[in-house]
A and B are shown apart, each in its own frame.
Chain A
Amino acid sequence: MGLFSAIKKGLQKTREAILGEIKGIAGQGKVTDEMLEELEERLIKADVGTSAAFLLTDALREEALGKSLSQNEVLDILRSEAERFLVDPPKFEFKGNPHVFLVIGVNGAGKTTTIGKLAKKFADEGHKVMIAAADTFRAAAIEQLEVWAKRSGAEFVRHAEGSDPAAVAFDACQAAKARGCDVVFIDTAGRLQNKDYLMEELAKIVRVLKKIDPSYPHDMMLVLDGNTGQNAINQAKIFHKSFPLTGLVVTKLDGTAHGGSVLSIASSLKVPILWVGMGERIDQLVPFNKAEYVDGLFKE
């Protein structure tokens, strides 16, 4: 399956529902407030969130209320408004030797799985990959990651369960340098953004990494579960405040989730979505593409 169709297929139901509403708006004479409310409903049901839904319908209200527009005109307004929120992922560049990714997020979002998938991608491109088991807290988190390291053929550094995550991260980066690895992925324990002691633990990992090289970590990647509702916005904001994020990954979009909250997040943070998780298998990670996502929502 092409990458394009994966995202578009995932969003098919949402798109159909949105298009259904738009058919009610376009070509039916003048656009009314009621029509706009129906559309807003569809967007909210896609977890776009009230704020982004309001922004989108407000844009339409401004340009369309009281006018008769064709379906394509309506879609164009929505698409250009949504595209305004989003940014395309920048082309990946190695910023260090090795390039260090710190992967963070709330519990169960898909961090470990995403690392396994990314390790495979980098390995397939001929890079030497190191994975660091800095989730030393959750039961069998280390063993889980080890399976992924084997699957991707990556180097793997672990300490005992319950040991200091910062020490694992430190050792893995040192080892990666010694062994000539090109890229390091540091897996971290799930942490809810309202838990100060866990945020402090993360801050310590960052501090320790910077002792090796102030440019570490080059990427601070937040993994979000696509099923998450409005809390995803909180997650992104709070993590971003303490740990300026360089990218987002949205997982589990192979289900019926729409990940609509990325629109709200993007509208307030301007952090690019880098990857989208489309299943549990190692090959089910696709690069995010803003046009595809927006088309997935708004293109027939």
Chain B
Amino acid sequence: MMFSQLTESLESTLKNLRGQGTLTEENVADSLREVRRAFLEADVSFNVTRDFVKAVKEKAMGSEVLTSVTPGQQIVKIIHDELVQVMGGETKEIALSGKPPVGIMMVGLQGSGKTTFAAKISLYLRSKRKKKPLLVAADVYRPAAIKQLQVLGKSIGIPVYDEGEGNPVEIIQHGYEYAEKNGFDVVIYDTAGRLQIDEKLMQELEQAREAVHPEEILFVADAMIGQEAVNVAQTFFERLNFTGVCLSKMDGDARGGAALSIKKITGVPICFIGVGEKPNEIDLFHPDRMASRILGMGDVVSLVEKA
């Protein structure tokens, strides 16, 4: 496991530090290199890693070496706290205060998990927030995308609005009107996957947004995404000003460093994580757990906390 790897390598670079009093530029240089490598291996973007390591260095400099923990653990703790802070202290909840039906639009790359998240969020809002959601099938491109949403909707008893083939912007508009007329208080639009460089399809999303002004636009990213996360998230953000991020496939063993990059680059909070394929396999995002995961560690934090 990474935990042992990072902490062990930190231990070896710092083993002589015990009893030295303070962490200094010289005595932490090696360990910061280890940290950098761990971040890159967790898929944190290169630039975010660099800035982060710099920030950690400044924090670490001059702090006293605790006697109760090893210096390696102490540095991990500093990084962990910084990570939690950057990834956004509080847990974000979906905004439901607008005039009903409140719109939520799912956007993202192909295969990132939008359709699954649409179903998961509808179920979550019904069971946890006592809402009456409608799902709208606006992916007319991918084979059987509509059917996929219908099957998911049926399995959880949530209605799905669809028009078969057609124009996605109109389907979204009509879906909104249908929700309004039929007493739904939340309407979730599933859209087709697209590349952020696909001009035509990006415009289509902008038009959809103009048509129904959703309260939330949720950018769905695969937890396994690599350095590209930054390019993708940045462009989606510039075009659509998405309001929340969902991370899918967190039940895998990816370290999920993209979560940090996306938050850092866009400033938009992460709200949900997907932890399985079934509609109930959704969790709120917890920055502290994510921080431990990116660092690939389990219990260092509580260890230092106790110290």
A residues neighboring B (CB under 8 Å):
41, 44-47, 49-50, 106-110, 137-141, 143-144, 146-148, 161, 190, 192-195, 225, 227-232, 234, 252, 254-258, 261, 280
Contacts and interface: CB of A to CB of B under 8 A. Distances in A.
A227 B228 contact: yes
A254 B253 contact: no
B249 A139 contact: no
Nearest to A112: B143
B226 A228 contact: yes
A232 B224 CA distance: 8
B84 interface: no
A140 B148 contact: yes
B134 to A, nearest CB: 18
Interface of B is mostly: loop
B253 A50 contact: no
Interface stretch (B23-31, B36-44, B122-130, B164-172): B36-44
A192 B257 CA distance: 18
Interface of B: 37, 40-43, 45-46, 109-113, 141-145, 147-152, 155, 195-197, 222, 224-229, 231-232, 249, 251-255, 257-258, 277
Contacts, number: 137
A231 B228 contact: no
A159 B111 CA distance: 24
Given A147-B143, A148-B143, A107 B227 contact: no
Given A192-B251, A225-B111, A230-B43, A256 B228 contact: yes
A239 B135 CA distance: 36
Contacts of B142: 144, 280
A142 B11 CA distance: 52
A192 B250 CA distance: 10
Contacts of B152: 139
A22 B225 CA distance: 27
A148 B257 CA distance: 35
Nearest to B153: A139
B228 A138 contact: no
B21 to A, nearest CB: 31
A161 B227 CA distance: 36
Contacts of B255: 230-231
A229 B148 contact: no
Contacts of A280: 110, 141-142
